[in-house]
Amino acid sequence: MSTLNPKLDRRSFLKVSALAGGGMLLSFSWLAGCKPTPEQSLILPKEWFELNSYIKIGDNGVVTLYSANPEFGSNVKTSMPMILAEELGVDWKMVLVEQADFWPERFQRQFTGGSQGIRQGWTPLRTAGATARQLLINAAAQTWKVPAAEITATAGQLEHKASGKKAGYGELASLAATLPVPEEVALKDPKDFTLIGTSKKNVDLEKIITGTPLFGIDYQMEGMKYAAIVHPPAFGMKLASFDASSVNSLPGILDVFSIQLFKDEYVRNFFDTATFPELVAIVGNSTWEVLQAKKSLKATWEKAPESSFSMSGFGGNPSKVKVPAGLENTEIHLAKMAEYTSKPGNVLRRDGDPEGAFKKATKILEKTYIAPFLAHNTMEPVNCFAHVTADKAEIYGPTQAPEFIIGTIASAIGLPKEKISIKLARMGGGFGLRAYSHHMVEAALISQKAGVPIKMVYSREDDMTYGIYRPSYSATYRAALDEKNQLLALHVKAGGVPETPIHANRFPAGAIDNYLAEGWQIESNITIGAFRAPRSNFIAAAEQSFLDELAEVMGKDPIAFRLDLLKRAETNPVGENNDYDAKRYAGVLELVKEKSKWGSPAAGVHRGVAAYFCHNSYVAEVVDMVLQDKKPVVSKVIAAVDCGIVVNKDASVNMGEGAIVDAIGNALYGELTFNEGVPSKTNFHQYRMIRQQDAPKAIEVHFVESKEDPTGLGEPFFPPVFAALANSLYKATGKRFYQQPFGTQLEKEGFKV
């Protein structure tokens, strides 16, 4: 049993007044459409007792666990409360989970992103659960006048075996809530876990399948009006003027005006990305009427000059961010990327003497990989409810990161942060996009100006064309080989519009004596943002495709080649700051090799492998492909993952399946191009998304048995798929594919997609 001194951690979440706050949280959740069903009402207690910010116990033993992180589909709303419940020692059937509001004084890190929810929540949530359990034990000890150490607390029951005394948590919760927080709490030994490692179904499952309101776009309020926005038609353009009379006499239209998101003096943060800081807003009686009115709006747009804004750095002084002028074209992006590929970049890491090794090489393998901009295309379009009055603001909508936007809202509407409440809606997808919550600022400004509560909804076309995309990237890999085809050096030079995808200290750095990594970037006014495993989602594709081709040139099996490199990194690493554990990395390759029966694929099956480490988890994947009438069909994907302890087994498998499908779709079809600053696609008739018939026929997800603390799964399954797919396409078609989307390249080669 490990002990942990809670004083070492941030304290606020461990103990709050039994009177403070709980009612407020509860009341909002009902407002958000989570009214208890008649069955739930029957089990609701007469009184709740709050043991800490996360845990509330009813007098009848029902337990409410707050899920602090926003939910976008990675199932944190189920899996994180499982951690609390495990240490609290409560029967999962007695647990109600409620989404917490944004409340930084009570909750740590209400941010869903970077696959960090489970990893960073692990110790705080265990501590919160164990502390509440200890409070209940202490209450029993005081009541029964027996030593606390002799009391057990399991499945919601306290028991003192020697005296035969027993009580439910609900009976002692009122006393427990008044006791001092214990100085030290014991955490369970992982071998004693009874909940963690099992499969618990999504706590919102029944609401989802019955169409119960859950999402921001579902929110309604008496007297609420509807709003739409009109943004410039191209990146590099801005509003010149608009004619209000073109829409304000249309049926159902109440108001039309422009809004400015940022005050001149406002210093933005990293997530304050807004492509078009000035928008036209149309307010009306229904969503349909405001969406229709958009089409009639007469506005003139002009080319935006170069501009700049102040942005606070991570812990540093504000810097100026430049927004270049111009209407950009994909063809020019590609030409510029090719130009940068042939110029020296910024050296990000150098081990040994790579230049010297390349001079000595008898053979050089050099390949360049390219990927386009991608739109996130969450199924729930951008939307937000806001009700701003003279003295307060209520915001309800999809966001992964309320903390990053509350200051922007405060500045925009001129109210202090304390007067702004942000309620966290379940999100219809996120994938990184909703870390940028400019829509909350827009909705707040519209509500303030219109003087009514409003729900703003973007059309799909608005959503697909407003920016915050996955950047376009290019990476060139070079390998120097001697006359025996031994690897002498590896050189990667990679960049993008507008950022480089390189993580210089990741594998294969550390495994190669002579190694050089260079980066470059091309400025752009097309806005970018986090997209499921940022940068990794491209560089893994390039690196793992190149290693596959390199293994072939060297006459080695692709898994054996990677394992050789990892053995070197484990036993005699090159350089410093290698940011991966070579043994765990090798472990997933070993596991996928075993589970896929790598050496003996079925007849007619073409397979490719790839592995990657990002966001603290290790993943290796094998893609099996068959050719059916010149169409490559993914028959199976086998994934092996090391994420430490698995919290919610089936939900973790679901996450793996989804990420694999998502990656295959983006690798084959995902692409957004630009002509004179205008995105080439506006809706799903043009932007091909992976569909049921394109999905792999089977997916297996295997976990490395581990006692390590858990790490996240939202992102790590995603990056290696691109390369495993490319490598299997090579086996199936005899062609290497270097440019995404692969579907376009396959068609050029006469294949069907």
Partner 1 sequence: MAQFTLQINGTSRQVEVDPNTPLLWVLRDHLQLVGTKFGCGMAQCGACTIHLDGTAARSCSLPVSSVGNSAITTIEGLSENGDHPVQQAWIEHDVPQCGYCQAGQIMTAAAFLNQNPSPSDTEIEAAMNGNICRCGTYLRIKAAVKTASQNS
Comparing CB distances to partner 1, the nearer of 311 and 627 is: 627
300 Cβ neighbours under 8 A, 6+ residues apart: 239, 240, 241, 242
Q: How far is the CB of 484 from partner 1 (least distance, A)?
A: 44
- Hey, is 336 helix, strand or coil? helix
Task: Name 227's bridge partners.
Answer: 283, 456
- Alpha carbon distance 678, 233 (integer Å): 7
Binder of partner 1 out of 173, 274, 291, 620 (CB under 8 A):
291
- Alpha carbon distance 108, 684 (integer Å): 38
Binder of partner 1 out of 289, 442, 621, 715 (CB under 8 A):
289
Q: Binding to partner 1 by residue 628, rule CB under 8 A?
A: no
Angle at 393 between CA 390 and CA 397, to 5 degrees: 155
- Alpha carbon distance 671, 454 (integer Å): 34
- Alpha carbon distance 49, 64 (integer Å): 10
Q: How far is the CB of 398 from partner 1 (least distance, A)?
A: 10
Q: Binding to partner 1 by residue 460, rule CB under 8 A?
A: yes
DSSP 729: H
Token match 């409620």: residue? Answer: 98
Span interacting with partner 1, options 133-141, 547-555, 680-688, 722-730, rule CB under 8 A: 680-688
Query: Are the C-beta atoms of 584 and 597 separated by less than 8 Å?
Result: no
29 Cβ neighbours under 8 A, 6+ residues apart: 98, 99
Residues from 230 through 259 that contact partner 1 (CB under 8 A): 251-252
Binder of partner 1 out of 10, 201, 359, 752 (CB under 8 A):
201
Q: Binding to partner 1 by residue 197, rule CB under 8 A?
A: no
At 191, list the tokens: 């071998």
Binder of partner 1 out of 20, 24, 162, 379 (CB under 8 A):
379
E strands, 535-666, where?
Answer: 606-614, 617-628, 631-642
Binder of partner 1 out of 87, 380, 548, 715 (CB under 8 A):
380
Residue 554 exposed, middle or buried by CB count within 10 Å (0-12, 13-18, 19+): middle
DSSP 69: S
Peptide bond into 498 cis (omega under 30): yes
287 Cβ neighbours under 8 A, 6+ residues apart: 226, 228, 455, 457
- Alpha carbon distance 253, 245 (integer Å): 11
Query: Are the C-beta atoms of 489 and 361 separated by less than 8 Å?
Result: yes
What distance separates the 2 farthest-apart alpha carbons in the chain? 83
Q: How far is the CB of 459 from partner 1 (least distance, A)?
A: 6
Binder of partner 1 out of 54, 72, 477, 737 (CB under 8 A):
72
Residue span 30-69 as binding mask against partner 1, x where in contact by CB under 8 A, dash where not: ----------------------------------------
Q: How far is the CB of 698 from partner 1 (least distance, A)?
A: 7
Task: Name 457's bridge partners.
Answer: 383
Q: Binding to partner 1 by residue 665, rule CB under 8 A?
A: yes
Q: Binding to partner 1 by residue 437, rule CB under 8 A?
A: no
Binder of partner 1 out of 542, 625, 655, 726 (CB under 8 A):
655
Binder of partner 1 out of 220, 307, 486, 572 (CB under 8 A):
220
Chain centre to alpha carbon of residue 600: 36
486 Cβ neighbours under 8 A, 6+ residues apart: 554
Q: How far is the CB of 450 from partner 1 (least distance, A)?
A: 17
Q: Binding to partner 1 by residue 208, rule CB under 8 A?
A: yes
At 318, list the tokens: 């504000």
Binder of partner 1 out of 129, 170, 428, 495 (CB under 8 A):
428
Radius of gyration from C-alpha coordinates of the chain: 28
Q: In terms of DSSP H, where are the helices of 414-535?
A: 438-450, 460-465
Span interacting with partner 1, options 40-48, 286-294, 386-394, 523-531, rule CB under 8 A: 286-294
At 729, list the tokens: 């396409």
Residues from 113 through 172 that contact partner 1 (CB under 8 A): none
E strands, 126-220, where?
Answer: 151-154, 157-160, 165-168, 185-187
Token match 């034990």: residue? Answer: 137
Size of the site for partner 1 (CB under 8 A): 66
Binder of partner 1 out of 660, 726, 729, 732 (CB under 8 A):
660
Comparing CB distances to partner 1, the nearer of 220 and 485 is: 220
Q: Binding to partner 1 by residue 661, rule CB under 8 A?
A: yes
Q: How far is the CB of 226 from partner 1 (least distance, A)?
A: 7
Comparing CB distances to partner 1, the nearer of 112 and 476 is: 112
Residues from 396 through 425 that contact partner 1 (CB under 8 A): none
Q: How far is the CB of 372 from partner 1 (least distance, A)?
A: 18
Residues from 463 through 482 that contact partner 1 (CB under 8 A): none
Q: How far is the CB of 429 from partner 1 (least distance, A)?
A: 5
Q: How far is the CB of 692 from partner 1 (least distance, A)?
A: 4
Kindly report the length of the chain: 753
Residue-wise DSSP of 193-246: -SSTTS----TTHHHHHHT-S-BGGG---TT-EEEEEE--SSTTEEEEEEEGGG
Q: Binding to partner 1 by residue 743, rule CB under 8 A?
A: no
Residue span 692-731 as binding mask against partner 1, x where in contact by CB under 8 A, dash where not: xx-xx-xx--------------------------------
* Residue at 185: amino acid letter: V
Span interacting with partner 1, options 123-131, 340-348, 668-676, 689-697, rule CB under 8 A: 689-697
Q: How far is the CB of 7 from partner 1 (least distance, A)?
A: 38
Binder of partner 1 out of 530, 651, 678, 704 (CB under 8 A):
651
Comparing CB distances to partner 1, the nearer of 38 and 555 is: 38
Binder of partner 1 out of 133, 188, 426, 478 (CB under 8 A):
426
Residues that bind partner 1 (CB under 8 A): 72-75, 199, 201-202, 204-206, 208-215, 217-218, 220, 226, 251-252, 286-289, 291, 377-381, 426-431, 457, 459-460, 650-651, 654-655, 657-662, 665, 683-685, 689-693, 695-696, 698-699
